[in-house]
Structure 1
Amino acid sequence: MYETIELTKQGRIGYLKLNRPQAMNAMSGKMMKELADCFESLLADSTLQVLIIHGEGRAFSAGGDIKEMMDPENPMDIDLVMKDISRLAKSLYTLPQITVAAIHGASAGLGFSMALACDHIIAEENSKLAMNFIGIGLVPDGGGHFFMKERVGVPKAKQLIWSGQILKAHDSLAKGLIDEVTAEGLALEHAETYAEQALQSPVKARLASKHILHQLKVSELEQVLEMEAAAQSAMRKSADHLEGIQAFVEKRKPEFHGK
């Protein structure tokens, strides 16, 4: 059904696997659309009560696919992509399931925004987590501003977004960005344990509380997504972004001039 992701169901638990291992699950335009479609389909799925999101291969997700952004023959249509990213973020945030991110390897950029949107975040101790859009002259998208602010508050969110720092799992836990750290190779297993424990609890009550807390914030998330889309479109045309991308490809330090 999907080319870049895989959805499987085992009883009341769903598994959503990011499945572009050859690209460290970097998000192509197709993957963003498929994720948005998948999350929207789960909005009406009453058979699942927990959804575990994880990555195939060496990473959870390295973020947006920079090679696709740079493709001169078939450039990414940023305005179309931002619509899919907004659908993805809103539907993930409002899912009627408990969402669990099981992170190994890298979770960066949009891949980190998506993880932060989940109800419970588990990361393996050597994983690298980064809201690193600033490195290529962009702003967080996928609701990154909203989800980071929800987790750590505005002042810390600003510092983390502005620094674009790559954090290890224990640093992320100390900053309140994630909920649990596991040994290497155990994130998915711990996610399954968490899911089983949730299903043994009065999970309908848990989901009702999630609904109440999240519905209060949906209009704010929608506003953030609109502003992110407008800002990202503008940043994509900036000299700093072009320099950031060029430096990334050439593996050198970028020289930004605030333009």
Structure 2
Amino acid sequence: MEFSTITLEKLERRATLTLNRPHAMNAMDVVMMRELAECFEALQQEQEIQILVIRGEGKVFSAGGDIKAMLDPDKPLNINEAMIYLTRIVKAYYQLPMIVIAAVHGASAGLGFSLALGADIVVACENSKLAMNFIGIGLIPDGGGHFFMKERVGTVKAKQMIWEGKVLTASEAHDEGLIDYVAPDGTVFAITDQLVGKMLASPIASMITTKKILHAQNLPQLESILSMEAAGQEAMRKTTDHLEGIHAFVEKRAPAFVGK
């Protein structure tokens, strides 16, 4: 299976999935969403791979959704198509029969942060910036962001962090319980490799079975949240605040929201 926006490399019992749009800070356009859906669905059938590492090519993990694409008059974003891909991505991702480690460097924001939080283990470089910042463009989290935030920090804290949309340092994210390991600058991939080696030397089949049991119990809630995210995002895309938010982002100015 060949892709244009991601790469998948397999080596014995581990695989590495790399987000590969470095020119766009690995922002996710519809093509990347489709390819991620296809990749995760294929990995669900994998018999040999026991660990999957997810990382970004270039300077960052992922800047999130491709905001500039939202304003492209020649190829306007089809929000329904995007949400269908996101639902496929997250359902397959959450049910992967392997341990998933997200190795974050540079930045992980919006949809990129949802993807990172969906991993079983998150390792972030200490100089990375992490944000569930959909609120900044008048949107709600998608890609299972509500579900993964709630799993990590609980309902009340998840609401407050989503509403604030604060950009966090790796240390702050670790203190909040959003990530699991903070790696010194330049060492995130080395630390991740150490974790992979440790796990592959463990009774990892037992670990994967525990994941399968726990995730199966939560799947109905995840499916419900994905459905509500799709409906909510479609509604938010039609708001005055969203249009103002994306224009302000592109123009690098503070948005003037009006609550509509």
For normalisation by structure 1, the TM-score amounts to 0.99
Measure, in 2, the Cα distance between the counterparts of 1:85 and 1:186: 30
Tell me the CA shift for residue 193 of structure 1: 1.0
Q: Equivalent residue of 2:127, what SS? A: coil
Task: Report the counterpart of residue 114 of structure 1 in structure 2.
Answer: 115
Partner of 2:222: 221
**Runs of at least 4 residues of structure 1 off by over 2 A?**
none
Q: Give the match for residue 105 of structure 2.
A: 104
Structure 2 counterpart of 1:8:
9
Q: Which residue of 2 aligns with 1:209?
A: 210
The Cα shift of 1:75 comes to 0.5
Which residue is equivalent to 1:42?
43
Supply the AA of the counterpart residue of 2:230.
A
Distance 1:161 1:32 in 2: 22
CA deviations over 1:93-123 (Å, ceiling 9, x no partner): 1100100000000100000000000000000
Deviation at 1:170, TM superposition (A): 0.3
Task: Spell out, residue by residue over 1:166-222, the C-alpha distance to the aligned partner (whole angstroms, 9 max, x if none).
Answer: 000000000000000001121111111111111111100000000000000001000
Which whole-Å CA distance do the structure 2 matches of 1:13 and 1:191 have between them? 12
Counterpart Cα distance in 2 of 1:36 and 1:164 = 26
2:171 aligned partner, one-letter code: H
CA distance in 1 between counterparts of 2:251 and 2:202 reads 52
How far apart, CA to CA, are the structure 2 residues paired with 1:165 and 1:174? 14
Residue 191 of structure 1 pairs with residue 184 of structure 2 = no
Asked if 1:24 is matched to 2:21, the reply is no
Please list every run of 5 or more consecutive structure 2 residues that lacks an aligned counterpart in the other structure: none
Other-structure match for 1:125: 126
Alignment of 1:60-209 (within 5 A): 60-209=61-210
Q: What amino acid sits opposite 2:41 in the alignment? A: E
* Deviation, structure 1 residue 252: 1.1
- Read off the aligned partner of 2:33 and give its amino acid letter: M
Following superposition, the deviation at residue 255 of structure 1 comes to 0.8
TM-fit CA distance, 1:73: 1.1
Partner amino acid, structure 2, of 1:49: Q
Q: CA deviation at 1:67?
A: 1.0
> CA deviation digits over 1:51-106, x for unaligned, max 9?
00000000000000011111011101000000001111111111001000000001
Give the match's secondary structure for 2:58. Answer: coil
Deviates most, 243-252 or 210-219? 243-252
The Cα of 1:251 is off from its aligned counterpart by 1.3
Aligned residues: 259
Distance across 2 between alignment mates of 1:153 and 1:27: 27
Q: TM-score, normalised by structure 2?
A: 0.99
One-letter code of the match for 1:233? E
How far apart in 2 are the matches of 1:146 and 1:80?
A: 21
Give identity over the alignment, percent.
Answer: 56
The CA RMSD over aligned residues, in Å, is 0.6
Range with greater deviation from structure 2 (98-107 or 188-197):
188-197
Q: What CA distance in whole angstroms lies between the structure 1 residues aligned with 2:13 and 2:249?
A: 42
* Aligned equivalents of 1:187, 1:250: Cα separation in 2: 32
